[in-house]
Amino acid sequence: MLGFTATRAIARHVVSRPSGLAQRFGMGLPVRRSFCAAALGGVAPSAIPIGSIGARAGKQAAEAVAEKVTSATSRQSIFFGTRLVAEGFEKQVGIWLLGTSATLYTMIAIGGYTRLSGSGLSMTDWRLQGEGIPWSEEGWVREYEEYKKYPEYTRLNKGMMDLDDFKRIYFVEWFHRMWGRTVGLLFAGPAVYFGFRRALKAPLAFRLTAMFSLGLSQAFVGWWMVRSGMEAPEKHTPTLGANQRPRVSPYRLANHWTAALTLYLGCLWTSLTLLRPSPAVLHQSAEAISAAKRLRLWALPVTALVGLTLLSGPFVAGNDAGHAYNTWPKMNYDWVPPEWPAAMSAPLKRWRLFFEDTAVVQFNHRSLAYASAGSSLALFAFSTRLALSPAACTAVWLLPVAVGGQMFLGIATLLLYVPTELGVLHQAGGVATLTSLAYLLHTLRTPMVL
* pLDDT higher than threshold 50 for residue 12: no
Task: Kindly compute the dihedral angle of the four CA atoms of residues 170, 174, 175, 177, in this order, to the nearest 10 degrees.
Answer: 140
Helix and strand numbers, DSSP H then E, in the chain: 17, 2
* pLDDT higher than threshold 80 for residue 129: no
Q: In whole angstroms, what is the distance from residue 125 CA to residue 349 CA?
A: 37
Q: Give the relative orientation of helices 420-443 and 90-116 as an angle to the nearest 10 degrees.
A: 150
> How far from chain centre, in Å, is Cα 400?
15
Between the two ends of the chain, the Cα-to-Cα distance in Å is 42
pLDDT at site 40: 37
Q: From residue 216, how far is each of 93, 97, 187 by CA, in Å?
A: 21, 17, 11
pLDDT at site 164: 94
Do 257 and 311 touch, CB atoms closer than 8 A? yes
Do 128 and 217 touch, CB atoms closer than 8 A? no
pLDDT at site 131: 77
Q: Among residues of the chain, what percentage have pLDDT more than 90?
A: 72
Give tens-digit pLDDT for 415-448.
Answer: 999 999 999 999 999 999 999 999 999 999 998 7
pLDDT at site 60: 54
Do 34 and 13 touch, CB atoms closer than 8 A? yes
Q: In whole angstroms, what is the distance from residue 403 CA to residue 80 CA?
A: 31
* pLDDT higher than threshold 80 for residue 14: no
| Stated pTM of the model | 0.82
* pLDDT, averaged across the chain: 84
Q: Give the relative orientation of helices 90-116 and 250-275 as an angle to the nearest 10 degrees.
A: 160
* pLDDT higher than threshold 80 for residue 1: no
